[in-house]
Chain A
Amino acid sequence: MTTDIATFLAHAVALEREAAERYAELADAMEVHNNKEVAELFRKLSNFSKLHLDEVTGIASAYTLPQLRPWEYQWKDGESPEAAPSDRAHYMMTPYHCLHLALFNEKKGYDYYADQAHKATDADVKKYAQMFADEEAEHVVMLEKWIATVKPPQDGWNEDLDPPGDAE
């Protein structure tokens, strides 16, 4: 748990920045592998994360944030909770998979902020953590609605007629 507002906001800035960067990285990877539809979607998600980053950075500008080294952040799993786990990407993934991955990340973001709000003893940490948790909850609802409009992939979505492991 982060105990003071400056440390909490340093974590929030890193969380949002790393989410945006990871989505941009996945967008690049999908572009390189000619999965343009998913690349565009990841790019959109990156831009949404940047908007949230701008908001958090704006709030944080009123404070002097501590300069934390990468491994000094107090993340539960070693990585910031909203950064999409790289190993869940696939070069043939569909928009359905992409949005489910985003939903997974938003839920982790919500859990992080909700936990901070629950455990905080500092009034400002509690206030902002609850505010960010509420925003993440909105994102979860939005994504669930979005996913409902996207057709699930058919069986064999990852069937590659020229599979990378086929020839030696």
Chain B
Amino acid sequence: MNAPTNLTAADFKSDVKPIWCPGCGDYAVLSAVTKALADLGKPREEIAFISGIGCSSRIPAYTNVYGFHGVHGRALPIAAGVKLARPDLTVLAAGGDGDGLSIGGNHFMHACRRNVDMTYIVMDNQVYGMTKGQASPTTAPDWCNSKLTPEGTGISPVEPARLALASGANFIARGFAGNPNEVARLIVEGVNHPGFSFIHILSPCVTYRPEQREWKTAVHAADVTPAQMIADAMHRLALDDGYTTGILFAGNRPAFMPERKETASFADFERKFAS
């Protein structure tokens, strides 16, 4: 346990009721996030939770910390801005596979390489759920249940953990929504690890991808210690089936935190904007 505050997971839930479909994996991710926040032992006002757009991006509204529901695909630059302006805050960002790896794909790569000290949770259901079920960047090429891609996309999907590693993320883990206690552990480890931490969570969409209920039989825990060398992690992820859960990589790059300089006083702002 980190420094205890006596706050429980329930204290980190807001009064807003989720509007996710019953059965959605994101409920379990919310449970994992609130358990992780309670375990971290930080007061609520020292935590900021940023998201983009999509079903999963609603999650900050359901938590009782500072939240910002941003623009589609732009959770990471907003989160980086928050962290650079307020390094004392614990910053988490969250979203789905479409928001994070397609619309926000470019931001994802650069957030990985910048290595600002924050934790990014991607709830991956391999579909755009909020817009009624289109193929996303992580959808298999032969998934043909969308009217937009009746014969499948025919395009190789993005493998999020490999992309994160190639782009420079300092901590990479994968969890499964069916095991929220383990996901809570991964989030805590990610927050405590310096630099950019990427938590890839397989979170089934029971409405548009009901077959993902079977993920519970496909996932398997990593039976090795986390790779610390990029070459080892590359090798492991090259052979990975996409269902290995646990900490896949824990690097040792120092977090990016430029020295802050006072460039303007409040008096300067007043002169510029209020006079």
Contacts and interface: CB of A to CB of B under 8 A. Distances in A.
A30 B179 contact: no
Contacts of B206: 87, 90
Interface secondary structure of B, over-half rule: loop
Interface string A22-55: 0001101111110000000000000000000000
Given A26-B22, A69-B1, A78-B179, A86 B28 contact: yes
B18 A28 contact: yes
Nearest to A88: B23
Interface residues of B, number: 41
A168 B147 contact: yes
Contacts of A164: 21, 132-133, 207-208
A168 B184 CA distance: 35
B182 A71 contact: yes
B27 to A, nearest CB: 5
B113 interface: no
A71 B148 contact: no
B134 interface: yes
Interface in B215-255: 216
B43 to A, nearest CB: 18
B23 A168 contact: no
A147 interface: no
Contacts of A165: 132-133, 145, 207-208
Interface in A83-126: 85-91, 93
B174 interface: no
Contacts of B177: 86
B181 A25 contact: no
Contacts of A31: 17
B17 A168 contact: no
A32 to B, nearest CB: 5
18 contacts: A29-B18, A29-B20, A29-B22, A32-B17, A69-B39, A69-B185, A70-B32, A70-B36, A70-B39, A70-B181, A78-B182, A87-B213, A87-B216, A90-B206, A164-B21, A164-B208, A165-B145, A168-B131
The 4 closest A-B pairs by CB, nearest first: A89-B22, A78-B179, A71-B185, A70-B181
Given A32-B17, A79-B180, A164-B21, 10 more contacts: A70-B36, A71-B184, A73-B181, A75-B181, A78-B182, A79-B179, A86-B27, A90-B22, A165-B145, A168-B147
